[in-house]
């Protein structure tokens, strides 16, 4: 049994570190113990990149890539037999920066990447974490005022790993 993930990365106007048509190195990880890991895959980038296909066993996967700016993009997908499953990492200009990890597997989010987001992002930024421990480095009032951002994380009485954000 085999399934296919068709992976691409859409660039935003402000990500000028990457030329249209370039390839970024990324990884495919199983969301559970049933899939296979594919390291150092090539992901086409641009305004309308043609996806590159990767065969994997059916199951849930996370596809991730680190941009030259340090920003890490990830997307999850369910790979099924039949037509390929599109996985588009989307580089959009947004006031929200979401970090869905406790850092135990890959050490994300990287502090340097977050600092670059704060330096190069828009006038106001919300850093959204679903684990309090990962948010604590950035939940510093003086830094929030200096760099124009706000940290959102689960309340102390709430369970780590979950947060609701309304857009």
More confident residue, 58 or 132: 58
pLDDT beyond 90 at 43? yes
- Where are the chain's structural domains? 3-89, 96-152
Contact criterion met (CB below 8 Å) for 152 and 165 = yes
* pLDDT score for 142: 92
Listed residue (130, 105, 129, 132) closest to 117, CA to CA = 129
Q: Which of 55, 73, 87 is nearest to 18 (CA)?
A: 73
What pLDDT, on the 0 to 100 scale, is given for residue 162? 75
| The pLDDT value given to residue 165 | 65
* Average pLDDT of span 120-149: 83
Q: Specify the length of the chain in residues.
A: 167
For 65-89, write each residue's pLDDT tens digit.
887 777 778 888 889 999 999 999 9
pLDDT at 52: 97
Q: How confident is the model at residue 167 (pLDDT cuts 50, 70, 90)?
A: low
DSSP string, 104-155: TTT-PSPHHHHHHHHHHS-SSEEEEESSHHHHTTT--HHHHHHHTEEEE---
Among 19-23, 86-90, 110-114, 141-145, the least confident range: 110-114
| pLDDT tens readout for residues 89-119 | 987 655 555 555 666 666 666 777 777 777 7
Average pLDDT estimate for 6-32: 80
Give the separation between CA 102 and CA 161, rounded to whole angstroms.
Answer: 8
CATH number of 3-89: 2.60.40
């Amino acid at each position: 049994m085999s399934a296919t993930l068709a992976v691409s990365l859409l660039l935003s106007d402000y990500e000028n570190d990457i030329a249209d048509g370039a390839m970024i190195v990324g990884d495919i990880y199983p969301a559970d113990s049933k899939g296979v890991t594919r390291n150092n895959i090539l992901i086409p980038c641009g305004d309308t990149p043609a996806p590159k296909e990767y065969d994997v066993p059916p199951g849930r996967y996370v596809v991730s890539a680190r941009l030259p700016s340090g920003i890490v993009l990830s997307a999850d997908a369910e790979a099924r037999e039949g037509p390929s499953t599109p996985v588009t990492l989307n580089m959009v200009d947004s006031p929200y920066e979401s970090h869905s990890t406790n850092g135990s597997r890959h050490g994300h989010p990287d502090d340097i990447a977050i600092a670059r987001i704060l330096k190069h992002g828009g006038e106001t930024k919300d850093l959204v974490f679903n684990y309090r421990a990962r948010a604590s480095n950035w939940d510093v009032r003086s830094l929030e005022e200096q760099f124009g951002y706000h940290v959102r994380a689960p309340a102390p009485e709430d369970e780590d790993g979950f947060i609701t954000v309304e857009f």
